[in-house]
């Protein structure tokens, strides 16, 4: 029998997220799946974009699902206890439960993610971690799959998760066929980390002048001794206070700022890789490649191809 998938549309459902699930599992060409949309009370549901969707089922529809997917919703309040109970019951029956984007907040409220890793949109990862400390939130991945429970990162990462679930169910060939129909890659390089906007160098009250000076001199060889002299502190004092104020050692902080500077040059210039490496103090193109890949899981070439501002 076809694999029945139900999307649970909560109030404020993100239309794109819901459409993603419908495109993968509800398209007429996909005979291996059947698809339905459910809502907590079975009535029309207002989307986060200001229009409503209708013709949805109530929570009883989850009893017939082999997979339940919760699209993102805003504001992501805790769902009603009845909704959480139905989700837990579905899980106990062996139903696979997954979330897209901020749908992770509803899934987290069920307790099914406790003790597991999970992800959501990178902008909301900090709040998810704060509200549900029993979960280890990974803001730099596209999706996390634990078998019977899975979460995806923001917006388009829902496509990555849905195609991954298809690969698990039916194999690579079917997933590739659906990807071609949707005009998306079957596998996307890297994780969500490459999409997190490079932030300006943080300045702390005690080290604002020093950190500004570091960012202005990234192309130079900077040692803890150099920083200590500039800050008029001993090396031991500098190291201790720097960790206390930034959460990183001075050299860790400098390396991170160099990678951020390299990302900005990749986005906004056509400079060769070795020149970018020299200007940011990373030294060589191979060093740039190694550290960028460690932080974003993509190569400099792929990063530039994705984010280059023409």
**Can you tell me the mean pLDDT for 220-232?**
90
Contacts of 27 (CB under 8 A, 6+ apart): 178, 181
Examine the domain organization and report whether 178 and 58 are in the same domain. yes
Band (pLDDT 50/70/90 cuts) for residue 2 is very high
In this structure, the answer to whether residues 238 and 293 fall within a common structural domain is: yes
Nearest CA to 126 out of 104, 145, 109 is that of: 104
| Closest-CA residue to 259 (of 232, 224, 283, 227) | 283
- Report the 10 Å Cβ neighbour count for 111: 15
Whether the predicted pLDDT of 199 surpasses 60: no
Q: Roughly how many angstroms between the first and final C-alpha of the chain, as a whole number?
A: 49
pLDDT band, very low/low/confident/very high, at 206 (cuts 50, 70, 90): low
CA distance 178 to 103: 23
Is 147 found in the same domain as 22? yes
- pLDDT classification of 281: cutoffs 50, 70, 90: very high
Domain end: 195, 221, 251, which one? 195
Q: Is there a domain that residue 60 lies in?
A: yes
What angle do the packed helices 235-246 and 224-231 form, to 10 degrees?
A: 90
- By mean pLDDT, which of 83-92, 152-161, 299-308 is the weakest? 299-308
List all residues 6 or more positions away from 141 whose beta carbon is below 8 Å from its beta carbon. Answer: 119, 153, 191, 192, 193
Residue 2 in tokens = 């076809």
Same domain, 151 and 214: no
With cut-offs at 50, 70 and 90, classify the pLDDT of residue 188. low
Q: Does one domain contain both 125 and 36?
A: yes
In a domain, 203, yes or no: no
pLDDT of residue 110: 97
pLDDT score recorded for residue 296: 77
User: Does residue 201 fall inside a structural domain?
Assistant: no
Task: Please give the residue that has the higher pLDDT: either 153 or 246.
Answer: 153
What tens digit of pLDDT does each residue of 284-301 get? 999 999 998 887 778 899
Percent of the chain residues topping a pLDDT of 90: 57
Look at residue 55 in the predicted model and tell me its pLDDT: 67
Among 195, 225, 260, which residue terminates a domain? 195
CATH number assigned to the domain comprising residue 15: 3.40.50.880
Assign 3-state DSSP to the chain and report helix, strand, coil percentages, each to 5.
Answer: 45, 15, 40
Question: Does 200 map to a domain?
Answer: no
How many structural domains are present in the chain? 2
Residue 30, Ramachandran bin (φ over 0: left; ψ between -120 and 50: alpha; else beta): beta
Is 202 contained in some domain?
A: no
- Do 45 and 185 lie in one domain? The reply is yes
Residue 224 located in a structural domain: yes
- pLDDT tens digit string along 112-147? 999 999 999 999 999 999 999 999 999 888 899 999
- Does one domain contain both 168 and 256? no
Cα 296 from Cα 12, distance rounded (Å): 31
Is the same domain home to 72 and 213? no
185 in any annotated domain: yes
Can you give the CATH number for the domain in which 224 is found?
1.10.10.60
pLDDT of 173 reads 82
Band of residue 184 on the pLDDT scale cut at 50, 70, 90: confident
Which residue would you say has higher pLDDT here, 69 or 193? 69
- Which has more pLDDT, 186 or 14? 14
DSSP result, 171-215: -HHHHHHHHHHHTS-SS-SS-GGGGSPPPPPP--TTTHHHHHHHH
103 located within any domain: yes
Final residue in a domain of this structure, among 195, 216, 251: 195
Do 84 and 228 belong together in one domain?
A: no
For the chain, give the mean pLDDT. 88
213 and 184 within one domain = no
188 with 214, same domain: the answer is: no
pTM, two decimals, is 0.68
Q: Are residues 172 and 250 in the same domain?
A: no
Predicted pLDDT at 310: 53
Q: What is the domain range of residue 293? A: 208-307
Interval 149-173 mean pLDDT: 90
């Amino acid at each position: 029998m076809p694999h029945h998938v139900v999307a649970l549309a909560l109030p404020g459902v993100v239309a794109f997220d819901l459409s993603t699930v419908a495109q993968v599992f509800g398209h007429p060409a996909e005979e291996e799946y059947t698809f339905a949309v459910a809502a907590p009370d079975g009535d029309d549901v207002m989307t986060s974009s200001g229009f409503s969707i209708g013709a949805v089922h109530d929570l009883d529809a989850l009893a017939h699902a082999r997979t339940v997917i919760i699209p993102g919703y805003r504001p992501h309040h805790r769902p009603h206890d009845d909704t959480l109970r139905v989700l837990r019951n579905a899980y106990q029956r062996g139903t696979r439960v997954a979330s897209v984007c901020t749908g992770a907040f509803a899934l987290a409220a069920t307790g099914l993610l406790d003790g597991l890793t999970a992800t959501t949109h990178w902008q909301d990862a900090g709040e998810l971690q704060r509200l549900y400390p029993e979960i280890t939130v990974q803001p730099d991945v596209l999706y996390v799959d634990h078998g019977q429970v899975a979460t995806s990162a923001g917006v388009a990462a829902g496509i990555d998760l849905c195609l991954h679930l298809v690969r698990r169910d039916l194999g690579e060939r079917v997933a590739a066929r659906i990807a071609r129909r949707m005009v998306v890659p079957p596998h996307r390089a890297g994780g969500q980390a490459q999409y997190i906007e490079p932030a300006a160098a943080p300045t702390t009250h005690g080290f604002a002048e020093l950190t500004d000076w570091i960012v202005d001199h990234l192309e130079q060889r900077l040692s803890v001794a150099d920083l200590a002299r500039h800050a008029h502190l001993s090396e031991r004092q500098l190291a201790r206070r720097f960790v206390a104020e930034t959460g990183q050692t001075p050299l860790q902080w400098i390396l991170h700022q160099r990678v951020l500077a390299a990302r900005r040059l990749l986005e906004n210039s056509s400079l060769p890789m070795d020149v970018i490496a020299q200007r940011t103090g990373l030294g060589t193109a191979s060093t740039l490649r190694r550290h960028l890949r460690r932080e974003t899981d993509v190569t400099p070439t792929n990063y530039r191809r994705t984010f280059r501002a023409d």
